[in-house]
Amino acid sequence: MKAFAQKPDVDLSIEFAGIRSPNPFWLASAPPTDKAYNVERAFEAGWGGVVWKTLGEDPAAVNVSSRYSAHFGKNREVLGFNNIELITDRSLATNLREITEVKKRWPDRALIVSLMVPCVEESWQAILPRVEATGADGIELNLGCPHGMPERGMGAAVGQNPDLIEQVTRWCKQYYSKPVIVKLTPNITDIRVAAQAALRGGADAVSLINTINSITSIDLDNMVAKPTVGSQSTHGGYCGAAVKPIAMNMVAEIARDPETQGLPICGIGGISNWRDAAEFAALGAGAMQVCTAAMLHGFRIVEEMQDGLARWMAEKGYRSLAEFSGKAVVNTTDWKYLDMNFQTIAHIDQDKCIQCGRCYIACEDTSHQSIAKLIDASGARRYEVIEEECVGCNLCQITCPVEDCISMVPQPSDKPYMSWNEDPRNPFRESVTATN
């Protein structure tokens, strides 16, 4: 990326669903936002907002030990993070008092309160005025917690039921005057149905994704999953870098759905750096929540996130997040509308190739046998693409360890755009065309 001698002249501040924030980076509802001490340290580090760890009715939830596990890469890099922690285990009065104090001391930061209470109107009617009295900027309905709480009729048990999503959202809009954000569970068949239900209930915005049901690993000596509580375990909530592709797809589905277009989206799921944030924004997110990256690297990572995003925006000529938010949505479509006449072919840059043969092995064993392994008289190897056999699948490019060594080259064509609906190879083409 281009280097700048001084801070780029861009404005990272946002207004999301009526909530102002000096930058789009918010800490998600989780252990990092469980108390005033953590939240104030986060604000000092530069976070634009926080979603306070989920509050519930008294008596407070009781957690187990241990609570976390991880899915590791080969160098012990944490690819995915799993937790079986419940909502706050501190009293409601303590949390409300600290929220009030923090908001007074940090009036320019977004402070959202995550809530989860039983799915009865009286419970919401009782807690909402107490939350509003704190001065917090809005609430986030935790309708997605995948473990512990669903057994009690809360969390994902509500988020997987569109009627309950709509009903709870409506209650909150009735008894609370500030913005209501509905946090959606990914443990569902079609995320659009949940978003539509939230919108019908009057939601000001949605946030997604909550964590994914998971078991990360097994202790093969004791035959029990991790995290282990005594001699047992359970499924937990999966988050971190590994869930980012799932989260981005769900954000895009809501952003391009005609029924929910324009509904503000707060992106959550594997956001670890400025580029992740920019990608979520391009798919329609107006704010971003971060958790796992902060838990692994500390609150100061927000400095790099802000700096990197600002520099990239300046390089591209964007002065605010709103100028590119949603720009990739128009280019995201269903498979049946892709251009069947478009073709791309792999090209190997021989000057960069280290002759490792990974592209050849992958293509020969598992793809289309379109890379030739050539050996000259001296025994030196060389790999070349057999263009007439290449289908442009990208596998060779993905397996290549050298950046930009293999590129995918679009092929010139005089054929017009043709979708699968129009393709004569489609056995249902006539009936599809007749119904459109």
Catalytic residues: 145
Closest CA to 117 of 71, 175, 65, 74: 175
Q: What are phi and psi of 253, to 5 degrees?
A: -60, -40
Closest CA to 260 of 354, 173, 326: 326
Taken in order 393, 396, 401, 403, is the CA torsion positive or negative?
negative
User: How many whole angstroms separate alpha carbon 177 and alpha carbon 135?
Assistant: 11
Burial class (CB in 10 A: 0-12, 13-18, 19+), 389: middle
Instruction: Tell me whether the omega of the peptide bond preceding residue 59 falls within 30 degrees of 0, making it cis.
Output: yes
Q: How far is CA 172 from the centre of its chain?
A: 25
DSSP annotation of 216 = -
User: How many whole angstroms separate alpha carbon 208 and alpha carbon 188?
Assistant: 12
